[in-house]
Amino acid sequence: MTESKAASGNLARLWRVRGSLSRRSYLVIASLGLLSPLVLWLWVVSTGKIDAVFMPTPLSVLSRIAEWYQADNLLGDAWISIYRVSMGFLLSAMLALPLALMIGVYKPVQAFFEPLTDFVRYMPAVAFVPLVMVWVGIEESAKIAIIFIGTFFQMVLMMAEDVRRVPITQIEAAQTMGATPNEIIKLVILPSAKPALMDTLRVTLGWAWTYLVVAELVAANSGLGYAIMKAQRFLQTDKIFAGILLIGVIGLAMDQAFRWLHRISFPWMYRK
């Protein structure tokens, strides 16, 4: 009687608004979340009502991955895709950061660039693909350019917002201690905005993967996106599944790496 009461008390605690969860329970529920699509998939396939062309079994997808790895250079495809994403993403980040910093610090720079960036941001990056092919060709640089177009403008706006969110009192305190504008940027604004900037990088990395697939679907002869498109031509649904799953796994790993980097770079945020 009392035990069941305690159990229902625990359950109520889980569902409190903005409640908390122990690390173990979190991991258990997260694994359930990750496994549930797999279970659903297994169940749908096991009913046998859907043709394997539309919905391959998990086992056939796994064996396709193994075959891809042994005979079809899966690592090469994955590597070239990771390379393109990384290059496009790094190029974006390297140019976006200084620009966003200036936009976030100096009003005239904001007035010049922000409406312009907003305008370009709404142009669909995918529509630039033909232009990029005309301008840059179909080399590696073309794919990197498409990823750049897809991520750069979003990154600038989000990073500028991160810079603007630095509390004004932190800046004013430095001013009353005699800091020059350069010192304020270097010693206050950058370190203060850094955690938010890194989060923005983590979010935009996901978009970089989206544009990678766009780039590889139309203008490539290697990479995971290209493999997916080729598989579609031959109706190899299991390989399409395999490609999509691989991109998901790589993305998840990169995301987790960013979170880990965040924790070790900003210990002061995690210590209470």
In the complex, which residues of this chain contact another protein (CB under 8 A)? Answer: 167, 169-170, 172-180, 183, 187-188, 191-192, 194, 266, 268-269, 271-272
Q: Least distance from C-beta 271 to another protein, angstroms? A: 6
Q: Least distance from C-beta 267 to another protein, angstroms? A: 8
**Burial profile 124-163: b = 16 or more Cβ within 10 angstroms, e = fewer:** ebbebbeebeeebeeeebbbbbbbbbbbbbbbbbbbbbbb
198 CB contacts (<8 Å, ≥6 apart)? 258, 261, 262, 265, 266
Q: Least distance from C-beta 268 to another protein, angstroms? A: 4
**Tokens found for residue 208:** 């970089």
Cβ nearer to another protein, comparing 93 with 188: 188
Distances (CA, A) of 92 to 20, 107, 167, 259: 36, 22, 26, 20
Q: Least distance from C-beta 182 to another protein, angstroms? A: 9
Do 251 and 206 touch, CB atoms closer than 8 A?
Answer: yes
Q: Least distance from C-beta 16 to another protein, angstroms? A: 24
Cβ nearer to another protein, comparing 4 with 176: 176
Q: Least distance from C-beta 110 to another protein, angstroms? A: 20
Cβ nearer to another protein, comparing 36 with 175: 175
Q: What is the DSSP string of 109-173?
A: HHHHHHHHHHHHHTS-GGGGHHHHHHHH-SSHHHHHHHHHHHHHHHHHHHHHHHHHTS-HHHHHH
- Rounded Cα gap, residues 208 and 212, in angstroms: 6
Do 48 and 230 touch, CB atoms closer than 8 A?
Answer: no
Cβ nearer to another protein, comparing 31 with 180: 180
Cβ nearer to another protein, comparing 139 with 183: 183
Cβ nearer to another protein, comparing 78 with 201: 201
